Every structure is written in structure tokens, then in C-alpha cells.
Structure 1
Amino acid sequence: MTVSATITVEPLDGPATARSEPAFRLVYAEVFAEEPYEETSESVEATFRRFRSQVHKSTFRAAIARTADGDPVGIAYGYPLSSKTGWWERLITPVSDDFRREGGQRTFGLMEFAVRAPWRRLGVGRRLHETLLAEGNEERVLLNALPDAEAAQAAYRSWGYRKVGEAHPWEGAPLHDVMLRQLC
């Protein structure tokens, strides 16, 4: 594995992402096994049960980074939040009704984002992020990040994200920072 290899970043729709599930799983499982995430095989399986549902959303989009040999090195995916999203209800301190108003076009929910260790700090993450967001026309993008994920937090801040609250994104989840970036 050479880290200086040419990296391509490709946007994907839902069906193409579904066909690439093994590559998404490989990156996700490797990255999120690390501290501070320490995900288990059971939690990876739960993520990919959701993934299989998410890729069928008509507004789903993803990006994948690969070496010239086709090895996956990074992934990003999500979809615009609908008016029925539960994302805002999970905040510890509620935000105004206007701030949380969704209709399927205002806010892109970045569900998962990961870059394998050998390819970090080479601009791959930024390229993944830009490719994913270039495919849409949302006003803003929202994500959850563990406070202890210092490198991820630093990257998000450098890309213009700001913390808008804290939440337990799912039942039993540790406290995450809810971060938002205005796009327009």
C-alpha cells in the first residue's frame, strides 16, 4: 500500500453506493475501530443495516476515494433532512423552530465520513467533503462528531463548521457535538 498513489474521488448515487457496499464497509469498519470510536462488529453491522435503507432514498448521495489500484481510502455519505427528521429532537438544548425547520432541501445530513489512517492529512477528506456537497444545492450541512475525535473536530472547524449543540444521536450513544456549516 503506497500513500503517495494518485487518489480519485467519485460522486455516487444510491444504487452505485449500494453496489459499493463492501468498499464502504471496509473503510468504515477500519476507521471506526480506532479510538475514540472503538466500534464493535455488532455496531458496524447495525450501521450497515441503516446504510442499506439509506441508499434507497431518492436524495441519497455519497463519495468514495480510491487509489489508482481501486483500493478504497475514504467514504462520505448522507442525504437532505426531511420535515420528519428526528435530528433536532436529540439536542440537549433545543434550538428555535426556525433554526430546525426542514423540508428536504435546506440541510444536508452528513451521516458518515471516514478516511483510512495512511491517507489522512493529504487532502483526501477535504476532496471527499467537497465532492459530496458539490452534488447538491442545500443551504447548510449538519453532522455529529465525538468531542474526543480531535483530528476530525479540527478538520470540520477548518472547513467552516461550528458547534450548534450537543446530542445523543441514537439511544445509548455517547454525547456528540452537533456541528453545522452554512453553504450559502
Structure 2
Amino acid sequence: MRCKDEQEILTLISCGNPDGLKSLFDLYYKPLCIFAMNFLDSFGESEDIVQDLFVKFWEKYKDKQFEGSLRAYFFTAVRHNCAKVLKLKNRYNLQLEEEYIDEPVYSEEEFEGECRKLYAEIARLPEQCRKVFELIVLKDMKYKEVADFLGLSVNTVKTHFARALKQLRSSLQILLVFLLRK
């Protein structure tokens, strides 16, 4: 029965009769919007894609014959249009990320000041914690290497490092910026 309905709709559309477009819209609008929602977050965007598709179809076939399956045509077109929207969104999001990544969090003077504060905080650590912290963070050594270098067990190195981090927790944001900048 659907094929007969589709054939009648196509005949109306090819004659330029708007009732054909209305029938086509009534038949496929909701299923196409639901299908588009599988790809997009917004029902509004889904509706826009489907409505644009009906307009383009009408403009293209209102005075000529369409060959093929309406169902296959519309669902394929919705899938492709959703992919285009997602691609554009992804490109826009990447541009935003690049803009934010390129902007420095701190000016050079602020960064230097924060580094001085960080070094002052590190200098206030107990001697063994400070040595362990400096070797792991500043010299990029592994726990085992630090343990061998200082003649300590790996567990002792881990404990000293944990204590150093705990004491520096108030300056963690500064530390994070420092480590990322390194």
C-alpha cells in the first residue's frame, strides 16, 4: 500500500501540486525527525534538517519525475545532512579549543612570580621531602632511581613524595601550571 501512496505522492509532486508535498511531509516528517535525533542532540536541529530536506526536494522535483525509493532517499539524505552538521560542529569546537589553548593562562611576569612562590614553598619542605620532590618533579626521575640515588627504599621515597605533595596542596594550581609549562 505504501508504494501506491508513494507513487501517487510522486505524481502530485511532479505536477507541481503542493498536496503532494503535504502528503509526503505527513508520511515522513516524524520518522525522519526521530531518525535524525539518533545523530544530533537537539530536536530543533533535527527538525531543521528534515524541513530543509523537504524544501529542497520540492524545489528539485516539483516539475520533474523522481526515480527511486522515497524512503531510501529521505533517510539517506537525513543521515548525510546530520553528518555535515556534526562535522561543522566539530570543526567549530576545534577552533574554539585552539583559540583557548593558544591564549596563555598567565603572562610571563605572572608566571615568573608564580614560579618564585612555588620555589619558596618547595624550599619550606622538610629536607628529605624536598630532595625527593625535586628529583621526581624537577629532574624527572622515577621512584626507583630516586631511591637508589638517596639510598632509601622505594616505599620511603613514595611516602616523602606524598608528604611533599600534601604540604604543597595549597599551591597545587601553581604547581600544575608549572608542570604543564615545563
With structure 1 as the length reference, what TM-score do the two structures score? 0.29
- Which protein shows a greater Rg? 2
Determine which structure has the larger strand proportion and give its number: 1
With normalisation by structure 2, the TM-score equals 0.30
The structure carrying a bigger helix percent of its residues is 2
Higher RCO, Cα 8 Å, sep 6+:
1
